[in-house]
Structure 1
């Protein structure tokens, strides 16, 4: 039976109004199967131009839009948890404010959810200066066993592509405030709880790779987050001692190498490793 869909889209002060417009229109107006509600979470104060664009998009939307306005910037995880509370429907799709959904995205993903799956992601196309400037592809594992195995080493879902059941997300505690890796932690909590998982290899989202994308994947803050999440996985008994040591050495080391090496390592090791 067809189900209704809420689209969850966080916005913060660093987002550009024109990018937000592209993200919104591609995920609402241009979808062959439109969402039934949009929840925009304004994560703290935003510049006047961005606030005006949010209001314009909400006013011109073909589906109802609820804007959740947080008084201060709380970070992605807590902002998404606030947005989930405002979603009317159990099925929720994620979207970022600078990416682009392909027109058939929800027409592909919703039947999979309706078949009994709790979370489904997809492949994505990375682009540079404009949407046609495709510079890479991320193809996730599609077999449920492969998704669970992949999760023991790296994130098995492309976060901006996922559609999931809100009830399952809330049952494991939501995103919480786990900066830099809140989505990865959430997927593992869902897997440990027995969630039914799926991915579509086909790219259904175009992901904007801005300047400094690989630089942001390194540094001491990322290393601290990496060590913290690996300890959490071990506490869940999701990883073995050997997998914990491997992950700390490989993924922790990845955070400390120069950006040029990190770019190469991501493509050759992190993005393709099969646990």
Structure 2
């Protein structure tokens, strides 16, 4: 019998009601292996349409849902921290409120965690908001040594795809604020701590690519977050001085190139660990 697990999903006012409904259904009712608990963290007030979608999803769910409301928007790091504290099970699956889990996702990830991995991600399809057209395929590195090596340059996991042991997350201090890169900072600390990690190369999540998705990966705010992260990675000796200098240079350029160049670079190299994305 599979070990029970919790599904942790944050939602905030910027999420679209219809997208949330699809994300919730795909990760609960439509899974061949369902979570035993859903922890839905509402990060601050939401509009009427989204509130109605949340209420409907909770009411229709055949899996117990903890709907945790945070009065004011506190950001992803704190929202996930509060959600983890409400998770009843050591195995926790992450999901965002605008993506879609494919039906076999948890059935393929959970056995790997039960067999000893502390952190397991998957590949992803990128699809467009407007018509659902698949425009890219992210293929992560799956070997633990390759993941560890690649993590010195870039996040080797796609956050919405991961399943992890909460105990392994807690051992390294959990989610901590790091601009828009709290996931990379967490995963790097887990790898540095000796966590057993892996990826399922097969795309098991569909990642929604809306207008401005790649524009948001650039600019001064992203650069400040990038620089803070690289300094933190160097401070814990996760990267060498040479790797730090390389990352600041290469990733710094990436933050300031035109959006169309950033889109090509992300799809072809960064999101795929150096592999060519399929279109």
Residues of 1 paired with 2:25 and 2:125: CA distance? 18
Residues of 1 paired with 2:266 and 2:14: CA distance? 25
Query: TM-score, normalised on structure 2?
Result: 0.96
1:23 and 2:23 aligned: yes
Aligned to 1:91: 91
Q: In 2, are the aligned partners of 1:126 and 1:206 still within 8 Å (CA)?
A: yes
Q: In 2, are the aligned partners of 1:151 and 1:188 still within 8 Å (CA)?
A: yes
Give the secondary structure class of the aligned counterpart of 2:210. coil
Aligned to 1:215: 215
Residues of 1 paired with 2:36 and 2:193: CA distance? 28
1:11 and 2:16 aligned: no
Distance apart, 1:258 and its partner CA:
1.3
> Closer, same or farther in 2 for the Cα pair 1:127/1:244, shift >3 Å?
same
Segments of structure 1 that go 5 or more residues without pairing to the other structure are none
Residues of 2 paired with 1:131 and 1:264: CA distance? 21
Distance apart, 1:223 and its partner CA:
0.3
Distance apart, 1:70 and its partner CA:
0.4
Query: TM-score, normalised on structure 1?
Result: 0.97
C-alpha RMSD of matched pairs (Å) = 1.2
Counterpart mapping for 1:90-169 below 5 A: 90-129=90-129, 132-169=132-169
Give the secondary structure class of the aligned counterpart of 1:65. strand
Segments of structure 2 that go 5 or more residues without pairing to the other structure are 275-279
Distance apart, 1:16 and its partner CA:
1.0
Give the secondary structure class of the aligned counterpart of 1:41. strand
Give the secondary structure class of the aligned counterpart of 1:262. helix
Moved more, 176-185 or 197-206: 176-185
Distance apart, 1:173 and its partner CA:
1.0
Distance apart, 1:52 and its partner CA:
1.7
Moved more, 156-165 or 130-139: 130-139
Aligned to 2:181: 181
Tell me the matched-pair count: 274
Residues of 2 paired with 1:252 and 1:102: CA distance? 34
